Amino acid sequence: MSPFFLEAVAADNYVAFTFFIGTMAMMAASVFFFLELNNTDKAWRTSVLVSGLITFIAAVHYYYMRGYNLETGDSPTFFRYVDWLLTVPLMCVEFYLITKKSGGTIGLLWKLIFASVVMLVTGYLGETILKEQSVLWGVISGAAYFYIVYLVWFGEVAKLATAASPAVAKANKTLGWFVLVGWAIYPLGYILGTPGGLFGMVLVEDVAAATGAMDIIYNIGDAVNKIGFGLVIYALSRSESK
């Protein structure tokens, strides 16, 4: 398929357009975070570097997801989960990094990573491979998600952030809102994207339109969550440096 034809199709393909905007936004964020590394105190460089890696990985995947959507017209579910499987655990790593000085342990890091992987793998199984059991896999995925929410808001992460400093506690609370509210778009997409699962598509007459709408919501939410996460970490690094 020629690039000219793909661009012509993209002119009225709003899903592909949001993939393009997501690619540009997250690539710009990556450049910003990477360029700011030399201006960041050594103690916070790893945190800012991880923020840049998150948005860079997402930008690369969004570039390929746009091409897939233009060529097939389908939702790039597989590529999206590959992206999440790389970026969401990295977002969890940020919680470990900001609490490391106040006693954050490798054990806490693995708790967060394990919960995020369980959340994503079971979500993928229920949404693509084992759709007839989507309720079961959705419940397991949701349990892992709420475990992360608990750790960040009330559990070990929250306590360590409070013990670290007022700036870290404030940043953790902001990141917690991203997890609680921003990440909520993902279970919503799961509900709408699994026929017969939870509410499934029984409430939606036009499946293709619903899938396209969820792709747009995912794209906007992904950009806000990942860039926003990084900006909170960046602001924290500046506040702690002062």
Distance, in Å, from the CA atom of 205 to the CA atom of 166, rounded to the nearest integer, reads 50
- Average pLDDT along the chain, 242 residues, taken 10 residues at a time: 46 83 96 96 95 97 93 90 95 95 93 96 89 86 94 96 94 95 80 57 53 81 93 94 68
Which parts of the chain fold into alpha helices (H)? 3-10, 14-35, 42-72, 77-99, 106-124, 134-153, 156-164, 166-180, 185-193, 207-241
Q: Tell me if the pTM is above 0.75.
A: yes
Report the pLDDT value the prediction gives residue 10, as an integer from 0 to 100. Answer: 53
Residue 184: CB atoms within 10 A of its CB come to 13
Report the pLDDT value the prediction gives residue 209, as an integer from 0 to 100. Answer: 61
Residue 72: CB atoms within 10 A of its CB come to 9
| CA 210-222-138 angle, 5° bins | 60
DSSP character string of 196-225: TSTTTTTT-S-HHHHHHHHHHHHHHHHHHH
Distances, alpha carbon 202 to alpha carbons 38, 124, 128, 197, 210, in Å: 53, 20, 17, 9, 11
Report the pLDDT value the prediction gives residue 2, as an integer from 0 to 100. Answer: 46
Report the pLDDT value the prediction gives residue 194, as an integer from 0 to 100. Answer: 63
Report the pLDDT value the prediction gives residue 98, as an integer from 0 to 100. Answer: 95
Provide the domain limits for residue 69.
3-241
Distance, in Å, from the CA atom of 25 to the CA atom of 27, rounded to the nearest integer, reads 6
Total domain count, the chain: 1
Report the pLDDT value the prediction gives residue 200, as an integer from 0 to 100. Answer: 47
* Residues 217 and 191: beta-carbon distance below 8 Å: no
Report the pLDDT value the prediction gives residue 4, as an integer from 0 to 100. Answer: 40
CATH number at residue 197: 1.20.1070.10
Distance, in Å, from the CA atom of 201 to the CA atom of 227, rounded to the nearest integer, reads 31
For tokens 């750790």, the residue is 151
Q: What is the dihedral of CA 68, 4, 57, 114, to 10 degrees?
A: -10
b (16+ CB within 10 A) / e for 43-58 = ebeebbbbbbbbbbbb
